[in-house]
Amino acid sequence: MGGVNPQCARFMEVKAAMTERQSNLVVPLAHEANAMRIAETDRRRAAPSGAVSRLSTRSGDVKSTMGTPTPGTRTSTTATRTTTTRTTTTVVRVPSADTSDQAGFTFSELVHAYFACRRTKRNSSSALAFEERLEHNLRELFDELQAGAYQPRRSICFVITRPKPREVWAADFRDRIVHHLLYNRIGPRFENSFIADSCACIVGRGTLYAAQRLEAKVRSITQNWSRRAFYLKCDLANFFVSIDKLILRELLAEKIGEPWWMSLAETVLMHDPRDDFELRGDPQLIDLVPPHKRLMNQPAHLGLPIGNLSSQFFANVYLNVLDQRAKHQLRARHYIRYVDDFLFLHDSPDWLNGVLRDVEAFLPARLAVQLNPRKTILQPIDTGVDFVGHVIKPWRRSTRRRTFNEALTRVATAPEADVHQMANSYFGLLRQSTASHRDRANLANIVRSRGHAVDKSFTKTYRGYAK
């Protein structure tokens, strides 16, 4: 073509140079690489270490010599080992501000217990006082628990009159946090062993759960109301003031193996609020409570204060003994319990009478409690089963008449400022029943007469106009 362009010639020279450089970077063959690594390893082993002296030159090491042994004999020379003094560095573990090694719980667990406790007590005076210096109070409580110096403080006693006079003991807000801390740790291990028909103070097992479960059992035993069956309803006499703390402590010890948690459980269980309490409300109301139902009149080892989370949980642990007997010894297929009210269902009244005799003998001997003979009922199911505020009859479940009549009376006579909240509470209660449309309509008529609006399904009321 006449000659080579100078620029093309220069490009070819650069390319040739690059090719030559790449050829110098070829990786050694496998056997050459192994030989290089072996040589480097030998060099490093031969070089003396600057960190540790050779074994043969270290002072205080054992020196031993071994001659040529005679066949069949073993010769050894043992030298005396010289003791050397070495300087060791002791690592001191600084306790974390978030963890208690002795107690086995974290500060975060205490904070979680605080939030669970204040969920329904946020506006109480004791909760507000505790929250005023929240971090200081939580840290002080944490230190007391960790050191084993925690002691419950003064309780509050007052009397309620609905549905009947009863004394209530409210622990200090600080102590309620400890109750939640204890329940959050030991509660699941006990509740996992409870039967599915044990209700009250268990998440998801309130009155509605108990009513629906009993209704399902009734439909099962009667084959959807096509067969005749009977129920045995029992109630324990003065249950909370009759609980034996010594028996309950043994039941708790069966599942609480940690010494610190067992000690805390004993502190909460054995605390007697009568030693230091404040009586609030009208002092004359205390006379309305029957003497045999008052905690103040019981021996020191009997009775739990009504009103604390710990008491409700301990009551379930206590009566779990009855639940296990009903299921495993009596072989009761249809059985349910809500606190101290429990029922047996069966198609034979003779079988239920046999169960009654067994329970009457078992409860005093094992748990030191007795049945209330005035509330022991054995009747056909189709007459209606009254349980946890609901009445179960063929094909319907309604609200107990006493509760419904009280709702109408209270809403009709309540102060104007309380009508909205009170009416919505009763609407929520009534709608839990399957046959409640007429009851809600009657309540809606009273609410509208008080100047409030009600939705068309009779489930909610709205604030009325100002008069």
Digit-by-digit pLDDT tens for the chain (467 residues) are 445 455 545 544 544 444 444 434 334 444 444 455 445 545 554 454 444 334 333 344 434 334 444 444 444 443 433 333 343 333 333 334 444 445 678 999 999 999 999 987 888 888 999 999 999 999 999 999 999 999 999 999 999 988 889 999 999 999 999 999 999 999 999 999 999 999 988 999 999 999 999 999 999 999 999 999 999 999 999 999 999 999 999 999 999 999 999 999 999 999 999 999 999 988 889 999 999 999 989 999 999 999 899 999 999 999 999 999 999 999 999 999 999 999 999 999 999 999 999 999 999 999 999 999 999 999 999 999 999 999 999 999 999 999 999 999 999 999 999 999 999 999 999 999 999 999 999 999 999 999 999 999 999 999 865 44
Per-residue pLDDT at 7? 52
Per-residue pLDDT at 91? 35
Per-residue pLDDT at 87? 38
Per-residue pLDDT at 346? 97
Q: What is the 3-state secondary structure (H, E, C) of the chain?
A: CCCCCHHHHHHHHHHHHHHHHHHCCCCCCHHHHHHHHHHHHHHHHHCCCCCCCCHHHCCCCCCCCCCCCCCCCCCCCCCCCCCCCCCCCCCCCCCCCCEECCCCEEHHHHHHHHHHHHCCCCCCHHHHHHHHCHHHHHHHHHHHHHHCCCCCCCEEEEEECCCCCEEEEECCHHHHHHHHHHHHHHHHHHHCCCCCCEECCCCCCCHHHHHHHHHHHHHHHCCCCCCCCEEEEEEECCHHHHCEHHHHHHHHHCCCCCHHHHHHHHHHHHCCHHHCEEECCCHHHHHHCCHHHCHHHCCCCECCCCCCHHHHHHHHHHHHHHHHHHHHHCCCCEEEEECCEEEEEECCHHHHHHHHHHHHHHHHHHHCCCECHHHCEEEEHHHCEEECCEEEECCEEEECHHHHHHHHHHHHHCCHHHHHHHHHHHHHHHCCCCCCHHHHHHHHHHHHHCCCEECCCCCCEECCCCC
Per-residue pLDDT at 40? 55
Per-residue pLDDT at 36? 52
Per-residue pLDDT at 174? 95
